[in-house]
Chains A and B, each alone.
Chain A
């Protein structure tokens, strides 16, 4: 039996919360696109990976400072998301949702292949100006990159929540999400808001790529972060920003607790599947997630 001290639990919890907010950031990209365009983007993880590659390539390989890498990742991902929306997703407007899903799954493979072609198969790193010696806060010992990651994530989550709830653009975007037809009758140019949603998704992916890349290193495996997005959004609800935050925190904490308590019992590995067990459980009990909109359809 592992040592169940208060300190051990609090370290696991704190780690879970920090990592969880970084999951929430990546999930936010997914939620943004789903809310505005009803498209489920299965390439979210690949977006993150691409953002990480762009940052690493600009900063480490070209020898530019770290902020140039971040900037390049953000600009590059906005451009990429913008182009993909126009070339791949716009022609699918109004098609069955399965067509969009298939397109984004295909897109994921294309992006993974392109990343290897463009950036090679080697492992690259992103070095942010964050120290590597652990940060001591009372009884807690926390890696500084996690603190920075969580901080950046929370700032952006708050900014996007404000954007959606208060700003005119955000309100218009919610209108588009609610009913494209009615939004058009209000003179809202729906296509422009689709492009905006994808561009914002690109920004979030770039940040996610930089943060996760700095924490884990940048290679093909970085796309796996995208897999964790599914338990996060299923837990929280596909179309809720608050849901993405809470879902992210739950997944982060669950992961850490299982790593701390279950892994020693079975010899490891539970960390990777516990979030999915949670996801399946939630799907059985409350398929729309904790904060998702319950859809009532008249037949």
Chain B
């Protein structure tokens, strides 16, 4: 595995894929996102860290279209997407997972992942009724792609399982598979390792790196586990009180005095981090 530093160099020349300019989001008096600008390069792994309430999830919600920013612009591959409908944004190639597992209940793993493929299927509501055969053929083709994702993440044995019956770590993995089935160019992961044990975390980290390497997918993740963040990200940005307070390589961010004050708090955790 490349070290974070080296991979950052590799991608430095990369073009900007997502360009967020001065977005803000207030909920009544609560300033979830004060003002944040951020440029994300194609093919990089970027981690967003910050204390609770720093605006990390609100930021992802704006990128994926759940929140319409009060101000600012969000450009994805030269196209303005701020305020676009979430389903439109998904169709452009931005997939996401959720902080709390959000698999569809009462469905199999396969159904869930196939739903991620939904947006890539051309036949709409009406045409599926009118041209049954076309819809069927199309479904078979997409099924093949879904199989790739399934074997990529080693989910072969779970195809027919009900998602509710799976262990926590596996459910998170199925959620990742469902997001991958969209063939995303940009993948937003909201705490993909939250609540996992060490083994599950390592497995997930490996999957994230492999997705990035195999398909060149740009990945933005929110994560609290600093060891994971330092290990897999090329770049880290730090949010605090709805602002971006630091940005850089993992090592540089870990040394940044303001980050340590805002996020890690005491001198002791600084030692813990360096260790």
Classify the secondary structure of A's interface with B: helix
B106, A174: Cβ atoms under 8 Å?
yes
- Give every chain B residue within 8 A of A172 (Cβ-Cβ): 115, 118
- Give every chain A residue within 8 A of B114 (Cβ-Cβ): 168, 171
Interface membership of chain B positions 110-121, coded 1 if the CB is closer than 8 angstroms to chain A and 0 otherwise: 010011101101
B104, A178: Cβ atoms under 8 Å?
yes
Q: Chain A's nearest CB lies how many Å from the CB of B81?
A: 13
The distance in angstroms between the C-alpha atoms of A174 and B115, with both chains bound, is 10
Interface residue? B226 (CB, 8 A): no
A188, B115: Cβ atoms under 8 Å?
yes
- Give every chain B residue within 8 A of A182 (Cβ-Cβ): 98, 102, 104
Q: Which of B20-28, B40-48, B89-97, B153-161 contacts A (4 or more CB under 8 A)?
A: B89-97
A190, B87: Cβ atoms under 8 Å?
yes
Interface extent on A, as a size class? Answer: 20 to 34
The distance in angstroms between the C-alpha atoms of A181 and B124, with both chains bound, is 20
B128, A187: Cβ atoms under 8 Å?
no
B125, A187: Cβ atoms under 8 Å?
no
Contact with B107, one of A167, A171, A190 (Cβ below 8 angstroms): A171
Identify which of A168, A185, A188, A189 gathers the most chain B CB atoms within 10 Å of its CB. A185
Q: Chain B's nearest CB lies how many Å from the CB of A32?
A: 14
Q: Assuming the A-B contacts A168-B135, A168-B139, A174-B106, are A188 and B87 also in contact, with contact meaning beta carbons closer than 8 angstroms in the complex? A: yes
Identify which of A179, A183, A189 gathers the most chain B CB atoms within 10 Å of its CB. A189
Interface membership of chain B positions 53-86, coded 1 if the CB is closer than 8 angstroms to chain A and 0 otherwise: 0000000000011100000000000000000011
- Give every chain A residue within 8 A of B85 (Cβ-Cβ): 184, 189
B118, A192: Cβ atoms under 8 Å?
no
Identify which of A182, A183, A196 gathers the most chain B CB atoms within 10 Å of its CB. A182
- Give every chain A residue within 8 A of B118 (Cβ-Cβ): 168, 172, 186-188
Interface residue? B173 (CB, 8 A): no
Residue of B nearest to A192 (CB): B125
Residue of B nearest to A166 (CB): B111
Interface residue? B235 (CB, 8 A): no
- Give every chain B residue within 8 A of A196 (Cβ-Cβ): 125
Interface residue? B51 (CB, 8 A): no
- Give every chain A residue within 8 A of B104 (Cβ-Cβ): 174-175, 178-179, 182
- Give every chain A residue within 8 A of B109 (Cβ-Cβ): none
Q: Assuming the A-B contacts A169-B125, A193-B125, are A187 and B119 also in contact, with contact meaning beta carbons closer than 8 angstroms in the complex? A: yes
Q: Chain B's nearest CB lies how many Å from the CB of A195?
A: 8
- Give every chain A residue within 8 A of B125 (Cβ-Cβ): 169, 192-193, 196
B126-144 CB contacts (< 8 Å) to partner A: 128, 135, 139
Q: Chain A's nearest CB lies how many Å from the CB of B98?
A: 7
- Give every chain A residue within 8 A of B90 (Cβ-Cβ): 184-187
The distance in angstroms between the C-alpha atoms of A196 and B87, with both chains bound, is 17
Interface residue? B195 (CB, 8 A): no
Interface residue? B172 (CB, 8 A): no
Interface residue? B178 (CB, 8 A): yes
The distance in angstroms between the C-alpha atoms of A245 and B96, with both chains bound, is 38
Identify which of B64, B96, B98, B125 gathers the most chain A CB atoms within 10 Å of its CB. B125
Q: Chain B's nearest CB lies how many Å from the CB of A160?
A: 14
Q: Chain B's nearest CB lies how many Å from the CB of A288?
A: 14
The distance in angstroms between the C-alpha atoms of A34 and B114, with both chains bound, is 24
Closest CB pairs A-B (n = 7): A187-B119, A187-B90, A184-B86, A182-B102, A178-B104, A189-B87, A175-B104
Given contacts A168-B135, A174-B107, 5 further A-B pairs with CB under 8 A are: A168-B121, A171-B107, A185-B95, A185-B98, A186-B178
Residues of chain B at the chain A interface (Cβ within 8 Å): 64-66, 85-87, 90-91, 95-96, 98, 102, 104-107, 111, 114-116, 118-119, 121, 124-125, 128, 135, 139, 178, 182
The contact sample of 21 A-B pairs, CB cut-off 8 A, is A167-B128, A168-B114, A169-B128, A171-B107, A175-B115, A178-B105, A178-B106, A182-B98, A184-B65, A184-B85, A185-B64, A185-B86, A185-B95, A186-B87, A187-B87, A187-B90, A188-B118, A188-B119, A189-B85, A190-B87, A293-B106
